[in-house]
């Protein structure tokens, strides 16, 4: 047994090493460290300055036009050999002398192609470096030091974090954030011990503290019972779990070539972006009957992540985060722990982004890829009606998972893309980490006489009500770019002619959305099935080939539509949007999300009401979760899972896994526990 586990682990290390090459092989590969350095050098030649006069807020791949990428793929498939790649360019959003610049760099020519000064509302994503810089200012700021001492606390145990400030109707705004602090003495769980009442405003461009408030002094929640680090835990321990393993003695069933993955009947590309995190592209599935790969998804990623808290008081009202556009979901990705975050059979990819000085930063083991078997069943049937013949057919279900984890402040978000041999793609999100904790004077619910805006979890500890909304960008190409959005409505029919003993049944009424307005959907209001179909291709019986959306967790916004956070987050007003493909319409919350005013969002683009019938279209779907904290979420939250699935609907002529063979069983040697 030990030899098998060691063998599997060595394979993991080998794949991780061989997939961290500095060159690119695919037009959608993320920028390499050498390319990030080239971008930095090229920009600094023109703007002869360094941080903080010149800072790199975002450097990412300036995606080639979709037609060029598809042409490259088609040429490669025909020649079965390497073909010339489309021109390679990078998009840079920089701050230079307190202005936001959009710079496009041609990497092959080592030159700037275009530069534009952004004059609209909102600011670019914040870097880790500038956040860390203003946090350090606090510990030299006399009013803050006095506030800590007034509370009888040791400043050496104080840790501070940042919050974006949002927008609340201001005519003019400066590039600021707010700082709030916590106490770490006696527990690693600092977010459970806030220094309530203190709020600090820092100017990111001036790099100084510009406002300071110490409104009240209430007890810091106790450290007792909040520790989550294993070596610091005290008995009793439990529950006791028996270990399990998914063993592959012949190595993994998938292959990695750069960022391209092939497994079972799937081929796809795994990319990375400092803002979006993982990006899945060019996902195609092999059709056994047609003897060819058929494209399903051109490009998919999390476009924005809206997290508004429900406390309107002075110390909390501004906590309405756009985790992707303000803090960078990709920048916030963390190294995955082998054998814990990912199983023993996982392979790993590193990721690289540019710090504010343009120098590459490595996230080791940022993405893991593994085959998953948890005892699920692909399909089965027991036939009992045939006399003298016993038939029982079962196929175990194995899938391929691409996983990342982003830690944005107190929360950890587990993001999964799961590919199934049946043709389904499941998008999963797991919420864990630490709740947003508010300090309070309450120690029992009987003391609460007015709205506390959350749940009392322990002495002096309130878990604040909040929401999580993840908006996915899914450029589905169902066996080609020209697609339509079809609503299959389920409607009741009354039997009135006495032709049946039945009085009613339901039937389907299909409706093809012609414009964007037709495709804006609030799920749950009426029974319907939603699908992206290819109206130009039909199965032998005449059905339009498509992929159906199977929603999971849905939560409609409860804020008023004219409330400022909801104006900025109007892209979640509907659970489903469908828009015509537009390369520039990438970020649901707008390109400049920090302190944005809702003027450049998915909701605004969709008001143009463009034609979407038989076009290259994009499906936007929001996964929503209303979170009322409970005591089981404290002091650290067991993973709460949500997500959705896209599933073939008349895409294949028959069940695509009908002829799937059961994997041969692995005979494990008996392990002797004796030394």
Active site residues: 323, 411
CA–CA dist 413, 432 (Å, integer): 6
Q: How far is CA 54 from the centre of its chain?
A: 29
Provide the 8-state DSSP code for 570.
Answer: G
Alpha-carbon gap, residue 327 to 174, rounded angstroms: 17
Distance in angstroms (rounded) separating the CA atoms of residues 456 and 441 = 10
Q: Which of 463, 464, 435, 460 is nearest to 447 (CA)?
A: 460
Strand order, beta sheet including 99-106: 54-61, 89-96, 99-106, 111-118
Q: Which two tokens stand for residue 492?
A: 């009741």
Question: 2: number of CA atoms within 13 Å, CB side?
Answer: 3
Measured between alpha carbons, how far is residue 605 from residues 306, 575, 599 in Å? 18, 16, 9
Integer Rg of the chain from CA: 27
CA 571 – CA 559 distance, rounded (Å)? 13
Q: How far apart are CA 437 and CA 84, in angstroms?
A: 53
Phi and psi at 518, nearest 5°, equal -65, -25
Contact 94, 47 (CB under 8 A): yes
Taking the mean position of all CA atoms in its chain, how far away is CA 255? 24
Q: What is the DSSP letter of 633?
A: G
Determine contact, residues 93/100, Cβ cutoff 8 Å: yes
Distances (CA, A) of 101 to 55, 91, 303, 337, 364: 10, 10, 21, 37, 30
Q: How far apart are CA 324 and CA 306, in angstroms?
A: 8
Structure tokens at 80: 């079965």
Structure tokens, 144: 């803050």
Return the number of other C-beta atoms located less than 10 Å from residue 247's C-beta: 13
What's the burial of 615, exposed, middle or buried (CB within 10 Å: 0-12/13-18/19+)?
middle
Closest Cα partner for 620 from 565, 582, 566, 564? 582
> d(Cα 292, Cα 585) in Å, to the nearest integer?
31
**Could you identify the residue written with the tokens 């009500």?**
465
Please give the full DSSP string across 485-534, using - where no structure is assigned.
EEEEEEEEEE--SSSSS--EEEEEEEEE--BTGGG-B-TTSS-EEEEEEE
22: which residues sit within 8 A by CB, 6+ positions away? 32, 33, 34
Helix/strand/coil (H, E, C) string of 154-171?
CHHHEEEEEEECCCCCCC
């Amino acid at each position: 047994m030990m030899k098998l586990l060691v063998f599997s682990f060595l394979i993991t290390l080998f794949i991780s090493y061989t997939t961290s090459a500095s060159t690119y092989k695919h037009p959608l590969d993320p920028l390499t460290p050498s390319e990030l350095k080239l971008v930095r050098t090229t920009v600094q030649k023109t703007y002869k300055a360094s941080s903080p006069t010149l800072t790199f807020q975002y450097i990412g791949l300036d995606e080639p036009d979709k037609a060029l990428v598809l042409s490259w793929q088609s040429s490669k498939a025909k020649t079965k050999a390497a073909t010339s790649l489309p021109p390679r360019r990078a998009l840079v959003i920089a701050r230079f002398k307190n202005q936001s610049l959009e710079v496009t760099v041609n990497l092959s020519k080592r030159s700037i192609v275009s530069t534009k000064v952004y004059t609209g509302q909102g600011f670019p994503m914040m870097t880790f470096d500038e956040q860390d810089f203003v946090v350090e200012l606090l510990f030299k700021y006399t009013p803050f030091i006095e506030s800590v001492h007034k509370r009888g606390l040791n400043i050496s145990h104080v840790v501070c974090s940042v919050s974006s400030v949002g927008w609340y109707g201001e005519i003019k705004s400066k590039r600021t954030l707010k700082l709030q602090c916590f106490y770490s003495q006696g527990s690693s769980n600092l977010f459970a011990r806030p220094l309530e009442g203190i709020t600090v405003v820092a100017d990111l461009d001036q790099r100084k503290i510009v406002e300071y408030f110490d409104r009240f002094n209430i007890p810091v929640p106790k450290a007792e019972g909040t520790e989550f680090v294993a070596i610091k835990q005290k008995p009793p321990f439990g529950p006791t779990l028996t270990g399990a393993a998914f063993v592959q003695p012949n190595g993994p069933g998938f292959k990695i070539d750069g960022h391209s993955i092939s497994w079972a009947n799937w081929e796809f590309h795994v990319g990375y972006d400092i803002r979006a995190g993982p990006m899945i592209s060019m996902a195609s599935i092999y059709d056994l009957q047609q003897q060819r790969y058929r494209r399903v998804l051109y490009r998919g990623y999390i476009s924005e992540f809206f997290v508004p808290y429900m406390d309107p008081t002075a110390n909390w009202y501004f906590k309405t985060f756009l985790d992707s556009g303000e803090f960078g979901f990709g920048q916030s990705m963390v190294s995955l722990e082998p054998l814990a975050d990912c199983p023993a059979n996982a392979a790993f990819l590193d990721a690289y982004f540019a710090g504010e000085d343009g120098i590459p930063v490595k996230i080791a083991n940022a993405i893991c890829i593994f085959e998953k078997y948890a005892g699920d069943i692909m399909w089965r049937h027991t036939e009992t009606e045939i006399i003298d013949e016993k038939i029982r057919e079962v196929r175990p279900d194995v899938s391929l998972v691409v996983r990342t984890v982003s830690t944005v402040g107190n929360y950890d978000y587990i993001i999964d893309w799961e590919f199934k041999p049946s043709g389904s793609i499941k998008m999963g999100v797991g919420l864990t980490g630490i709740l947003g904790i508010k300090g309070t004077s309450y120690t029992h619910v009987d003391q609460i006489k007015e709205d506390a805006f959350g749940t009392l979890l322990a002495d002096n500890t309130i878990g604040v009500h909040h929401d999580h909304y993840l908006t996915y960008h899914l450029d589905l190409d169902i066996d080609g770019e020209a697609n339509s959005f079809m609503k299959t409505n389920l409607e009741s029919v009354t039997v009135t002619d006495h032709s049946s003993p039945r009085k009613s049944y339901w039937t389907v009424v299909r409706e093809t959305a012609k414009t964007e307005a037709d495709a804006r959907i609030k799920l749950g209001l009426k029974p319907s099935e939603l699908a992206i179909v290819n109206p130009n291709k039909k199965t032998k019986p005449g059905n339009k080939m498509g992929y159906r959306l199977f929603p999971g967790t849905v939560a409609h916004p409860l804020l008023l539509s004219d409330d400022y956070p909801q104006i900025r987050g109007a892209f979640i007003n509907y659970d489903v949007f469908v828009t015509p493909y537009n390369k520039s319409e990438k970020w649901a919350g707008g390109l400049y999300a920090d302190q944005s005013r809702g003027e450049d969002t998915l909701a605004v683009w969709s008001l143009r009401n463009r034609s979407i019938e038989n076009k290259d279209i994009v499906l936007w779907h929001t996964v929503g979760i209303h979170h009322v904290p409970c005591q089981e979420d404290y002091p650290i939250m067991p993973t709460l899972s949500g997500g959705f699935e896209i599933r073939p609907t008349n895409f294949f002529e028959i069940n695509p896994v009908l002829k799937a063979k059961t994997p041969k069983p692995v005979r494990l040697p008996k392990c002797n526990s004796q030394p």
